[in-house]
Amino acid sequence: MTVRLFIVALTAALPATAQTDTARATYDARIAGVWQGDGGTCATQKGSWAFGPDTLRGNATTFTLTGIHGTADRVVAAVTRPGSGASLNLILRPTGPDTLAINGPGIAADVTRCPAGDDTIVASMEEDARAYDTARFKPVRLQGVTCGDNCYVDYTAQREGAGDGQALCTAPECATWFDAGTLPDGFRDTIVGAEFGTAPQRDAAGTVMDPAFRAITAFGPPDVGLPNIPLPLPPGTYVDPALACGDAPNAALRTFTGAGISGSATRDCRLYLPERTGQTYSGIQTCTDTYSRQPSTWPATVTIDGPLAFTFDDGAGAAQSFRFCNGD
């Protein structure tokens, strides 16, 4: 089981002396074992956490436990990160003999006791949560379009802060979707970046029901926090396998920068590929149009055909295959 924790450093923590006998007893009896695992063996495993009497370890980062208080059902643990001094409070709720619920700013997760010798990753940590809080574009997974008195974009948030459900939309892309009354298949179940603001919600007569209803105001790349699996390809120029690099037209060439795949009409491309099945990576790509200089985002699927070859599908038509140019 993999659990991702999104941790936001707080400016204030519990005093170092903040501790109660009840909270300490609950921690010792019902929490420490779940975090440490039987015999503490999980503390040495990749990505696992150990929550002992003195420290909280996540990956290679060590946190100092500065205080515990609360009740038998709700323990608040204050921790600080040595060096930076960043601090945060974790709310720990035992939910069973071998399970623990963790809550806090940006945190909502469950962990299970890690048996001795088990390779299970109990929890892993994202260090970029602070940046995510101030990011312009929040990663959301588009689900569809619903139209009635108003048209809404249906989505699920991929990070906290965007909320799940429906939003009005004033972004230019939405006008086309709303006119059609549906979300194009190429965008359905795709992760994109959404900037949130507000817009008036009206009834059938045009009367404003809510002057500041949640609305998507623009689409763009998710600024932070979107998982990305790097492609196992060297940067360079790639060409249609049937052509020589020196004789190929621009449409048959692609440049892989290590960050994205660009063509003659695009630049500053960035792939976000959070999903992998076998040798196929899927997600989105954001690029800037070479001529209009406008950003755009679309679904992207890359299949690795060999150490120096791939097939790229940008959702605009038939997938194209490319091989690495070796100077031919």
pLDDT tens-digit series, residues 225-265: 455 678 888 889 999 999 998 888 988 999 998 888 998 88
Last residue of a domain, one of 127, 149, 166: 127
83 and 161 share one domain: no
145 and 210 share one domain: yes
12 and 100 share one domain: yes
CB atoms within 10 A of CB 76: 20
Contacts of 17 (CB under 8 A, 6+ apart): 67
Q: What is the DSSP letter of 164?
A: S
Alpha-carbon distance 111 to 225, whole Å? 21
User: What local confidence, expressed as pLDDT, does residue 201 receive?
Assistant: 92
Highest mean pLDDT among 14-23, 127-136, 144-153, 265-274: 144-153
118 and 216 share one domain: no
* Residue 197 placed within a domain: yes
17 and 110 share one domain: yes
Highest mean pLDDT among 94-98, 190-194, 218-222: 190-194
Higher per-residue confidence, 293 vs 241: 241
30 and 71 share one domain: yes
Domain that holds residue 162: 133-220
Query: How far is Cα of residue 298 from the mean position of the Cα atoms in its chain?
Result: 17
Contacts of 298 (CB under 8 A, 6+ apart): 186, 187, 284, 285, 314, 315, 316
Alpha-carbon distance 193 to 143, whole Å? 14
202 contacts 209 by C-beta, under 8 angstroms: yes
27 and 123 share one domain: yes
Alpha-carbon distance 97 to 29, whole Å? 10
Q: Which helix (H) or strand (E) holds 274?
A: strand 266-277
Last residue of a domain, one of 110, 127, 144: 127
* Residue 67 placed within a domain: yes
**Residue 108 token pair:** 């909502």
Contacts of 38 (CB under 8 A, 6+ apart): 113, 114, 115, 116
219 contacts 193 by C-beta, under 8 angstroms: yes
Give how far Cα 133 sits from Cα of 99, 210, 325, Å. Answer: 29, 26, 41
179 and 193 share one domain: yes
49 and 122 share one domain: yes
168 and 273 share one domain: no
* Residue 226 placed within a domain: no
* Residue 227 placed within a domain: no
Tens-place pLDDT, residues 46-105: 333 334 333 333 333 445 667 777 777 778 777 665 555 556 677 788 876 667 777 654
* Residue 210 placed within a domain: yes
User: What local confidence, expressed as pLDDT, does residue 4 receive?
Assistant: 32
Tens-place pLDDT, residues 10-26: 223 333 334 467 777 88
Nearest to 99 by CA among 123, 71, 64, 129: 123
The rounded percent of the chain whose pLDDT value lies above 90 is 15
* Residue 225 placed within a domain: no
Structurally, the chain folds into a number of domains equal to: 3
271 and 316 share one domain: yes
99 and 157 share one domain: no
* Residue 182 placed within a domain: yes
Last residue of a domain, one of 88, 111, 127: 127
* Residue 255 placed within a domain: yes
186 contacts 297 by C-beta, under 8 angstroms: no
Higher per-residue confidence, 42 vs 287: 287
238 contacts 328 by C-beta, under 8 angstroms: no
What dihedral angle (degrees, nearest 10) is formed by the CA atoms of 192, 179, 289, 315?
60
User: What local confidence, expressed as pLDDT, does residue 239 receive?
Assistant: 94
User: What local confidence, expressed as pLDDT, does residue 112 receive?
Assistant: 64
User: What local confidence, expressed as pLDDT, does residue 58 receive?
Assistant: 37
Which range, of 18-22, 87-91, 186-190, 281-285, averages the lowest pLDDT?
A: 18-22
